Structures are given as C-alpha cells and as structure tokens.
Structure 1
Amino acid sequence: MSDQTIDSTFSTGSAARVVHHDTRVINVGDRLFYRVTQAFALIVILLAFLLVFDLFRGAWEAIQTFGLKFLVGTTWDPVKREFSTLPTVIGTLVKAFIALLLAVPISIGSAVFISFYIPKWLRPIISYPIELLAGVPSIVFGLWGLFVMVPVIRAVQIWLKANFGWFFLFDGPAVYGVGVLSGSVILAIMIIPIITAVSRDILLTVPRPQIEGMLALGATKWESIWQVALPYARVGLFGAVILGLGRAIGETMAVTMVGGNSFDLIHSLFDPVHSMASQIASEFTEATYSLYVSSLIYVGLVLFGITIIISLCAQYLIWRLSKGHVAVFE
C-alpha cells in the first residue's frame, strides 16, 4: 500500500471520527433542548390544571349550595345569602357581541386600507398609533369613556328614546348614559386596535402575484381584494376576531366604569348591568363570609368555562375554514 493510500485512508477515518463526534454532540444538544422545552410545556399544562383545580376548590361551597341553579337564577342578594349569575352572564355576552358588531367592520376595513391602498412608506406611520392604542391600559379607556363618551352616548340615548322608544331595545333609562350601549362602545374602541393590527399582518402575507393576476385579468382593486385576499386570509382574520372577543369578554375596569352596576336582567340597550369580570372586581373585597367569596369564585369559574367553550368553537370553525382554504388555494 502506497504512502498516498495510507494517508488517504487515515484522513478518511479521521474525518469519519470527527463527523461521528460532532453528530453525538449535536444529538446530546437536541436531547437537552427537547427536555427543556418539554419541561416548559408541562409547566404550562400544570398551571392550567392548577387554575381549574383552585377555581373548583374555591367555588365548591357555592356549587354544593346552589348547584346548576346558580347559572339560571336572577337573584344576587348577599344579605339573604342568595346568589346566581344569569344577569351578569347575559350582560357579558351581549356587550361583547355588540362590541364585535361595531368593531369588526371598522377593523377589517382599516386593515384592508393599510395593506392594499397606501404606499409602503406610509404604513408604519399609520400602524404605529394603532399598535400604541392596543397597549393602552383599560383603566385609561375607562376614564376617557366615563368623562368623554358617556355624555355623548347619554345625548344619543335620549334622542333614540324620544324617537324610537316604541322599540324595546331603546325603551330604557336613557338619562344615565351608563349601561349596555356605553359598555359595548368602549369595548369596541378597545378591541379595534387589536383586531386591526392582527388583520393587517395577516393581509400582508397574501401573495401579491395572486392579486396582480386578478388585476391582469381585468378585475378591479376591490374585486381582487374581495375574491382573492380576503378568502386567502379568512382563517387569520377569524382568529383576529376571536382574539378581540376574548379581550371583550374578559375586560374588567373599563366596563366597570361605564357599564353600570346592576344585577337585573337587561331589557334594553340603555339598562345598566354588571359583567362577570366587573362583578368579581367590584365585590371581592366586600365579601365578608365564605359563601359570598365562594359565589364570586363560582362566577369566575363560569367565566372561565364560557371562555373555553368559545375557544373550542373557534378552533373548530378555524379547522373547517382551513380545510376550505387549502382546497381553494392549494
């Protein structure tokens, strides 16, 4: 065997040993990274189980006392030790969905305008205030709503009652200014920046060649957006709406300040009503006996359950939309 062959064999063996050594080190690193990330995931799951367990444990006295009647009753009387949460559940859901009806068209329209109608250099200038509003604390929105929006809404309510008071939605105490309508408007203002920012990012991922292809075929800008961009981005847009809905349902301070503090069932848009989150925040420090505290925790458990149900429904709808999305654009 020549010296060149021996050197070649030695070099090949050394390279193999080096590669084998590097692969083993990489495998150790992969296993370590896997274990660390697995531990983080288990911590998140454990925290979720601990949250549910503590909610059930705290609410157990109220669950034993009232059972499922807690969900359908209309009485909240700490003096008589009678508690139920139907009015606050209805108030929470009504205000959240009215806020969505107000916020979604404005948010999607703003996102479409930012994504397709303005120059690239102008997008950051317009987007920055929107993202800034998304981070404003809710107490600031609450103060602004109480001193600025409520007087305006009071005037609107008085006009609506005077002209359309025959309609049950406008037949209520219009002189207060705080109530379902005020709470819904302030919630809509709070979730518009969130939905707009997320929707803008989603729409910017739409492949430009598809839109340009539609334009080349003679479609207008609006037709290309309606027939290509919005269907392509519908899953992400739906996720943005659900994100806004979650913020609206869980909002506390702003709704407490402008939504009213009544436990009666609502009959019009002008009626004041507690939301579930605002009820807990308003009364938890005033709960003087264990059943009272347990009932408030029960309200929190119900709110948690509603959030989970909405999340599961949203996941199912996103899955259905994703199937249609793949079928059309694959």
Structure 2
Amino acid sequence: MNLKVQEARVPGLPVAPPPPPEPLTTGTESPAASPIRKFLLERSNSAISDGTFRWLMLVCALVIFGIVALIAWQLISRSQLSISKFGLGFFFKQAWDPVSGNFGALPFIYGTLVSSIVALIIAVPLAIGVAVFLTEMCPKFLRGPLSFLTELLAAIPSVVYGLWAIFVLVPILREHVNPYLMKTLGWTGFFTGPNYGIGILAAGVILAIMILPIISSLTREVMTAVPHTQREAVLALGATRWEMIRMGVLRNARIGIVGSIILGLGRALGETMAVTMVIGNRPEIVKSLLGLGYSMSSVIANEFSEASDDMYLSALIEIGLALFIVTIIVNAIARLLVWAVTRGAPQRVV
C-alpha cells in the first residue's frame, strides 16, 4: 500500500522551481558517453599530431646526412678522371702544370693548413682575453658597445677584409712587422727570404682577425653560462681574481672553448676571398711564413673558370674533395683533443 506524503506548505514562502528535465538520450548511448567520446577524439588527434611532429623532426635530421652524402658523392663522381689517373699520389705531389696535365694538391693543402694554424696561434689568446674581459672585468657602460663591435667584425664580408688587408695590413707588415721578425727570429727559418708583404703570414693575420669574433663570442657565452656559485666558492677559499677565473671559470668552460676554436678553425679552412687577395697565389711549399703560398679554396676560386679540359676541371674538383677530407680530419682530431682533456667525464665542479 503506497502512501503519498504531501509536504507542508508554509503560507508566504515561494515555491521551489521544479528540477530541469534530464537530456534525452537514445537507447544505445549513456549520458557519460559524450565526454568519453570527446576525450578519445582529442587523444586521437594528439597522437596524430605527435606522430606527424616526430616524422618531421626525423626528416630534418636526415636532411643533414643527405646533404653531406650528396656533397661527398658529387665531389667523388666529378673527380673520377683525376682520381683514376693520379690516385692517392694526387695529395702528395707538388707539381701543378695545367699545360702538360700534371696536377698535385700538396702545395694547396700545405698553404691551407699553415695559414689556418698561424691564424689560430694569433686569434685564440686574443679571443679568450676579450671574452674574459667582457665577462669578468669590463664595466657595464662599456660591455654593450664592446660586445656589439666584437660581433660586428663577424658580419663584415670577406672581400672587405681582403681590400683592407691589401691597403692597410700588407704595408704595415712589409714596412714594420716583417723586418723586425726577420731581424729577431730569422735564425728560426720561419721569417726569411724576400719581404713581399703578402704571403702566408699576411693570410694568417687576416684569418685571425676574421675568426676572432667567432671564438670570442662563443667563449663569452660559455663563460657566462658558468654558475656564479663557482666563482664565489673559489673566492671564498682565498683565491685571487686570476685564480678564480682560471680554476672556477675557464676550467669549467674548457669544453665550450674548444668547440668555439673548432668553429673558428672551420671558418679559417674554408675562407676564400680574403686569403686569395693576400696569400700570393703561388703553388709552392716554403718553410718561411713570409713566402708566397696558395690555399685549396683560393685555387678553386681563381682557376675554376679557366679550366679548359675535363682533366683540369676534375683536378680542381678533387682539390675540393681534399678540402672536404681535411675538414673532416681536423674536426676528428679536435674531438680527440676534447676527449684527451676531459677523458669523457662531465665538467668538474670546483
């Protein structure tokens, strides 16, 4: 027996509104099915987006391998005439005679390596010194303008560097620097012979100026990333400012500094116009840095348009292959140097 209990109504009070009607659903769908379907749809779209993004990033990474492989394949295939005729002896021969068809790349390899080494010897101490000054010692009002000017050097075209070297650097070397080097260090054999002004030393100096902003800027960024706690800890132990910079900053930033030097060396190895204008463009191997030389990129730029036959063109392309191989070898040696310094261990905390 069902009894209906009626609620007592108090006169004067409002009557509560009836509850809203429940949404109509089909017989096969529950009220909770719509949010579940929305969640599954969003998850499916997210999975598709993640998969697309993953494949795009994979393609971007594979493009690097593809570019390197394409460059190597083109250099090897286009230099087959020279490779089949001269073989590996092409990289160890000194002769360069387009008339008789006798070619050798050793003078160009020598000029490229020696001028790049001279550039590193000059640029690395200066670049690290500039980075240390800007990071640790420079007043705030001078830090911005000096940093801007340092980075501006990297934006100057190489042909402008070459013109400046011809009209400014070469006369300074010929009239002041070279005579002093010949007088004081001539006994070493590295500063002897005719004083042309142009030559391997001039090419090394202009390359040093060109790679200095690259090494300095990257070194400064690496030094800035070293935590201030490293500096404070070394100073708290009673170290001087120089000891703090040497042990607390440079030691922890050494891997990045070596990386910046590698990038600077890569720029020096591949530089063309500025080197072509001051190195002398003579395919010789001389001990003296005052002598004339030739680089691999310079001979390609100078003689590529003059290649009159297929063998001549193939020899020039094989020089490009030699430059490609030298770049790979130099980077491999640099990585071995990094491993020798760090022994594969992470950066130490002082």
Q: TM-score, normalised by structure 1?
A: 0.92
Aligned equivalent of 1:203: 223
Distance change >3 Å, CA 163–CA 201, structure 1 → 2: closer
Cα shift at 1:312 = 2.0
Q: How many residues align?
A: 323
Instruction: Give the Cα separation in 1 of the matches to 2:37 and 2:335.
Output: 49
CA contact (8 A) 1:256 1:278 kept: yes
Aligned equivalent of 1:94: 114
Aligned equivalent of 2:190: 169
Instruction: Give the Cα separation in 1 of the matches to 2:232 and 2:297.
Output: 47
Q: Which of 265, 288, 302 is the matching residue for 1:282?
A: 302
Instruction: Give the Cα separation in 2 of the matches to 1:135 and 1:287.
Output: 32
User: RMSD of aligned C-alpha atoms?
Assistant: 2.2
Task: Find runs of 4+ consecutive structure 1 residues off by over 6 angstroms.
Answer: 10-13
Instruction: Give the Cα separation in 1 of the matches to 2:310 and 2:282.
Output: 23
Q: Which has the larger radius of gyration?
A: 2
Distance change >3 Å, CA 11–CA 228, structure 1 → 2: farther
Aligned equivalent of 2:9: none
Cα shift at 1:316 = 3.5
Distance change >3 Å, CA 222–CA 160, structure 1 → 2: closer
Give per-residue Cα distances to partners, 1:140-196, cap 9 Å, x unaligned.
10100011000011122234334544431121111x111011111011011111100
Aligned equivalent of 1:125: 145
More helix by share: 1
Secondary structure of the structure 1 residue equivalent to 2:285: coil
Aligned equivalent of 2:348: 328
Cα shift at 1:108 = 0.4
Sequence identity percentage: 43
CA contact (8 A) 2:230 2:349 kept: no
Aligned equivalent of 2:259: 239
Aligned equivalent of 1:43: 63
Instruction: Give the Cα separation in 2 of the matches to 1:324 and 1:44.
Output: 26
Cα shift at 1:11 = 8.3
Secondary structure of the structure 2 residue equivalent to 1:218: coil
Instruction: Give the Cα separation in 1 of the matches to 2:348 and 2:77.
Output: 48
Q: How does 1:120-269 map to 2 (within 5 A)?
A: 120=140, 122-155=142-175, 156-162=177-183, 164-174=185-195, 176-269=196-289
Query: Please, which runs of 5 or more residues in structure 1 have no aligned partner?
Result: none
Instruction: Give the Cα separation in 2 of the matches to 1:293 and 1:114.
Output: 48
CA contact (8 A) 2:185 2:191 kept: yes
In structure 1, give the amino acid aligned to 2:337: L
Instruction: Give the Cα separation in 2 of the matches to 1:162 and 1:78.
Output: 39
Instruction: Give the Cα separation in 2 of the matches to 1:201 and 1:165.
Output: 40
Q: TM-score, normalised by structure 2?
A: 0.87
